[in-house]
Each structure stands twice: as structure tokens, then as C-alpha cells.
Amino acid sequence: MIHEIRTYDLKPRSVPEFEKRAGEMIEGRGKYSPLGGFWSTEVGPLNQVVHIWPYEDLNARTDIRGKAVAAGAWPPNTSEFIVNMQSDIYLPAPFMTPLGDREIGPLYEMRIYTYAPGDIPKVIEAWGGAIEERQKYSPLEGAWYTEIGGLNKWVHLWAYKDFAERTKVRAETREKGVWPPPSGVSPVKQENKILTPMNFSPMQ
């Protein structure tokens, strides 16, 4: 299983119309493969949309995308709004729960860490031993490492009810020594963005 994370930078004030046009076509696109989630940024890089598509493998991705385009089911007519597009292929961590329909947000935090070459396996091992206890405080909705794109990246997606819960959970888990887990390695770069789901996203 692979997950494609697509990130689009949009022109200012164009997110609502992008959401409208994409929403009008998402049902047709879903006939070819399921959508994992679709969000826009609230904090961090503004005017950005992030969508995640699971596929069995790269061959399935190529086949599905080709059929959807040929049928006119995708993409939506939004090119006039897009300033930049980025696509990265990720592998899910072994402890990650499959994406699917659920209401657990509506606030999502995506954190993107870049590690030195060779460090990702240590991170996966440390997280695997600690994630069960951490999820008692708030759910981990995704954890991936790059296969194609910017390498040595570790992306994780957390769901919260609101900003207050996020602040409380992060402070409490750190104070109790629950999180972050000791891995013996540290990221060389960290980024984060706060996301809210678009009205057609299966993850709300």
C-alpha cells in the first residue's frame, strides 16, 4: 500500500471556489479509488490544500489516474487557482490505522519531520512501542515515511477537537513522559500545519 500526498498552493481567496469545484466532482472520482482525506490550511502556509489518496501500488496509481482522466472524472477545473503542485509518495507506518470515514476532528495537525539518512527505522521502532499509550489522549490519524519525493521525511497527522485540546494534550503527554518517545535521533528539520477538512472529505 502507498499513499500519495498532494499539496497545492492556491492563489489568495481562491480556496472556497476550489472546494466547490472539487466537491462537485469528488463522487465521480471516488468510483475509481477512495479518497483518504482533503483539507485546507488554517495555520502555517496559507491558501494551501492537502489531499491524500491510497493506492495498492504505483502501477495501480498510474492505471487509476489514467482512467479517471480519460473519463473526465478528474481533475476538477481548478488550474486557474493553482500556483504550485507537489506530489510525494509515502509508505504507511506498520502501526498506522487505515484512513476512512470518521468524524474525529475538525482540527488536524500535520507535522513533517526530516531526519538524517538511516534514522527513519529508529523512529518507527520508537513510535511503535509508545503509540498505544499516546493515542489514549488523541488519535494518530496517519504516519508515513517517504518512498518517492523529498526523502527521509516522517509525516504524522493528529486529530483534535479544537486548539485548546491540542494545547492540553501536548502539554500533558510531555509532562507525563508519554510523548515524544525516545528514539535516540532528532529531526534536522521540523514543519507543521493546521488543517481543517473540506466539506466532502471522508475524514471530518
* Distance (Å) of CA 14 to CA 29, 40, 70, 183, 201: 22, 11, 26, 41, 18
CB 125 within 8 A of CB 183: yes
pTM of the predicted model as reported, rounded to 2 decimal places: 0.95
Listed in sequence order, the residues at least 6 apart from 117 whose beta carbon sits closer than 8 Å to its beta carbon are 151, 152
CB 58 within 8 A of CB 149: no
Q: Which three cell numbers stand for residue 158?
A: 493528529
The structural architecture, per CATH, of the domain 2-197 is: 2-Layer Sandwich (3.30)
* Distance (Å) of CA 196 to CA 8, 25, 105, 163: 15, 20, 8, 12
Distance CA 178, CA 182 (A): 10
Instruction: Give the pLDDT confidence score for residue 21 in this predicted structure.
Output: 98
Instruction: Give the pLDDT confidence score for residue 168 in this predicted structure.
Output: 98
CA 38 to chain centre: 8
Q: In what helix (H) or strand (E) does residue 158 lie, and over which residues does it extend?
A: strand 153-160
Domain boundaries, the chain: 2-197
Q: What is the pLDDT along the chain (204 residues), one digit of tens a residue?
A: 999 999 999 999 999 999 999 999 999 999 999 999 999 999 999 999 999 999 999 999 999 999 999 999 999 999 999 999 999 999 999 999 999 899 999 999 999 999 999 999 999 999 999 999 999 999 999 999 998 888 999 999 999 999 999 999 999 999 999 999 999 999 999 999 999 999 999 999
